[in-house]
Amino acid sequence: MKMTKQTLMQHLDELRKRVLYILLFLLGAFIIAYIFKTQILEFLFLPLSKVNTDLTLIYTNIPDLFMFFITTSLKLAFIATIPFLIIQAWAFVKPALKKNEKNSIFPILFLAPFLFLCGIVFCYFLIMPIVIEFFTTYNSQVSTPEITISLFQNINEYFSFFLMILLGFGAAFELPIVLWLLVKLGIVTKAKLKKFRRYFIVLAVFIAAILTPPDVLSQLLMSIPLIALYEITLLFIKDK
């Protein structure tokens, strides 16, 4: 009985240590993000500034800009901490896993952050320019000699729009891992996934509607990569 209590205390100490590491990493990431806030701001608004060279960013309340940098730095710090959190979680549960369980889980630790990053890069360099070009071009088309419509972008609203699409694509690119796990756990088979592909087209549109802003263009631009990822995964996946 004493041995069990001591082992439990050791686990709690180990968990506390891992949580402390994560909080320190989060704090460090937040400080770095805030120090380089101007460079990050330029990076975030680059897709919009390329399309609209006369871009004017606005905020409507005195403390808005300060709070924007604080919240933005915190959000980016959370995102940057996710891979480190996964590493710490792995280090905590690893001793309790069997060898075959370690061999199954270990590749996911590297593949999940990589696919998430691929989704973000794909969105930033390919999707965001198309979305911004479409909407800004549409705005200019409805202007007339009598009515001039100009964009004065609220800094908070743009970042919320930008981050929602960016994280949506990052999450969507985790689809291969989800499919692999479903087959690995025996929930579905590769043959069933092949039969389900026609229904997945509808499901992809539904997922895109959840993960992107409520506009048809963003949803279409996400559903197409989702369908492509589904087909590519089927080429490499093996039945259990």
Residue 99: predicted pLDDT: 76
> What's the whole-model pTM score?
0.81
Residue 5: predicted pLDDT: 47
Residue 206 DSSP code: H
Residue 111: predicted pLDDT: 87
Residue 2: predicted pLDDT: 43
Residue 76: predicted pLDDT: 92
Q: Which residue in this structure is represented by tokens 């006369």?
A: 54
Low-confidence stretches of the chain (pLDDT < 50) are: 1-5
Residue 77: predicted pLDDT: 95
Calculate the average pLDDT of the chain: 84
